[in-house]
Chain A
Amino acid sequence: MEKLQIHQKAARRASGGKSHGITGVVASGNLEVLLERVLDGTECEVNIKTSVEGFDAVWRAVINDFIERHSPGGLRISINDGGARPDTVSLRLAQGVRLMEADR
């Protein structure tokens, strides 16, 4: 298993009222994403635990892109990955932020 942590400031704080949310499932080719609104300001933290080693650069690129696109400021995002493709990762992250931006 490989662990990766990314800290980055987003452009804005994520909107909405949910304190935490989860999406996805840990399975082959899939991942689960846990989001917690626990950080200050526009800080964003992404913790990844993955069963597939050696894709550091790809993860960083995908996360970078996600943070720029969706501005998840204030969110700590934790991922358990079962070897998902980058587009699946992007999809889950986007789903996750949408979940957090809901009212309740």
Chain B
Amino acid sequence: MKNALAKYRKWSWYEATARERIAALLDSGSFTEFIGPEKREISPHLVLFDLPEAFDDGIIVGRGMVQSRQVLLAAQEGRFMGGTFGEVHGAKLVGLLRYARDDQDAPRVVLLLLDTGGVRLQEANVGELAVSEIIRAVLEARMAGVTVIAMIGGRAGCFGGGGIIAGCCSRIVISEQGRTSVSGPEVIETNMGVEEFDSRDRPLVWRTTGGKTRRLLGGADAYAEDSIDSFRDAAFSLLDRIPAFELDTVEKEHARLAQRLEKFGQCHDAPEIWKAMGIAEPDGIADLSDEVFNQIAQAQKEANHDAR
């Protein structure tokens, strides 16, 4: 029983730790970590708050192979401080992206395993600044011909600055468990009241921020089951249609976002959007199996575009 559980943990993207995701995602033994935990490049700020540090400050960056193809990779550990961006955490990702941008011999694909509640409040200013530097580095890497793929499906979701970073990537892969938004549901509830957003209404949270919603609206480009294999397949299925970061793409994105607002801006809840999209049973989306849902998503105009 224990072995079965261990195997499940090994293969579920949601249950896995960042290091387990890397081990299962990449070709066996192919990963070289940059500034590994033995280098002890820890946060210099957590000690002020009497908080425990992590040897890798909650993010692992490095290079490896997927199906014999070289990739650069960054994986956030959502369980450490909510996978939040701190000074060192952010800088590791900035360094990786700038390397991809600057070195034409570097791998042309960067996988961003985002698992983050946003900026680490104990390091709020430098974390937020790191998010801005990461955004700049992602876009510059894209301009240099690098593909940056966001992969979202962990415990912490992809919130705050992480959600904005995801929106700047070439492509986004998400699972049902993945959630993306800018303000977290609890923050909206605290600031605007429970009538605005009941953060304890889990189905509501998922209808608002969850992977199926994102996929159908065109806020994610591929939908994965909650397994490492599925995430790998979904990411690689996108590789032959990567939008360039240039004026034409940004104009197209502007048009699709304007259209989304026009068509669905009056909707109060996701099922109204699905109904307006012409989906047969809008109230049943949450209960659909991944396979059936994927088929529906592939057929939706809004969900499949090159405008990112």
Query: A26 touches which one: B36, B47, B50, B53 (CB < 8 A)?
Result: B53
Please tell me which one of the listed residues A1, A20, A34, A78 contacts residue B52 in the complex, with CB atoms under 8 A apart.
A1
Shortest Cβ gap from A31 to chain B (Å): 9
Whether A81 lies near B52 (C-beta < 8 A) is: yes
| Chain B interface size, under 10 / 10 to 19 / 20 to 34 / 35 or more | 10 to 19
Complex Cα distance A25/B19, Å?
Answer: 10
Given contacts A27-B79, A27-B80, A104-B29, whether A22 and B53 have CB atoms under 8 Å apart is no
Q: Which residue of A lies closest to B38 (CB)?
A: A20
Closest to A38 in B: B38
State how many angstroms separate the Cβ of A52 from the closest Cβ of chain B: 10
- Is A42 an interface residue, CB under 8 A from the partner? no
Task: Say yes or no: A36 contacts B53, CB within 8 Å.
Answer: no
Q: State the main secondary structure of chain B at its contact with A.
A: loop
User: What's the dominant secondary structure at chain A's contact region?
Assistant: strand
For A22, give its contact among B50, B51, B52, B55 (CB under 8 Å).
B55
Q: A1 to chain B: which residues have CB within 8 Å?
A: 47, 50-52
A34 near B50 with CB under 8 A, answer no
Q: Is the CB of B53 within 8 A of A51?
A: no
Complex alpha-carbon distance, A25 and B55, angstroms: 10
Determine the distance from Cα of A30 to Cα of B47 in the docked complex, in whole angstroms. Answer: 18
Question: Nearest chain A CB to B180's CB is how many angstroms away?
Answer: 22
In the complex, whether A71 has a CB less than 8 A from a CB of chain B is no
A44–chain B nearest beta-carbon distance, Å:
17
Q: How far is the CA of A80 from the CA of B54 in the complex (A)?
A: 7
Nearest CB of B to A66, in Å: 20
Chain A CB within 8 A of B37 CB: yes
1/0 contact trace for A61-104 toward B, CB 8 Å? 00000000000000000101110000000000000000000001
Q: Is A45 an interface residue (CB 8 A)?
A: no
Instruction: Give every chain B residue within 8 A of A104 (Cβ-Cβ).
Output: 29
A26: B residues at CB distance < 8 A:
52-54, 79-80
B151: shortest Cβ distance to chain A, in Å? 19
Q: How far is the CA of A51 from the CA of B52 in the complex (A)?
A: 6
1/0 contact trace for B17-34 toward A, CB 8 Å? Answer: 101000000000100000
Tell me the residues in window 217-269 of chain B with beta carbons closer than 8 Å to chain A beta carbons.
none
| B87 contacts across to A, CB distance below 8 A | none
A-B contacts, 21 of them at CB < 8 A, read: A1-B47, A1-B52, A20-B37, A22-B37, A22-B55, A22-B56, A25-B17, A25-B77, A26-B80, A27-B79, A27-B80, A32-B54, A34-B37, A34-B55, A49-B52, A49-B53, A50-B52, A51-B50, A80-B53, A80-B54, A81-B52
A interface, CB within 8 angstroms of B: 1, 20, 22, 25-27, 30, 32, 34, 36, 49-51, 78, 80-82, 104
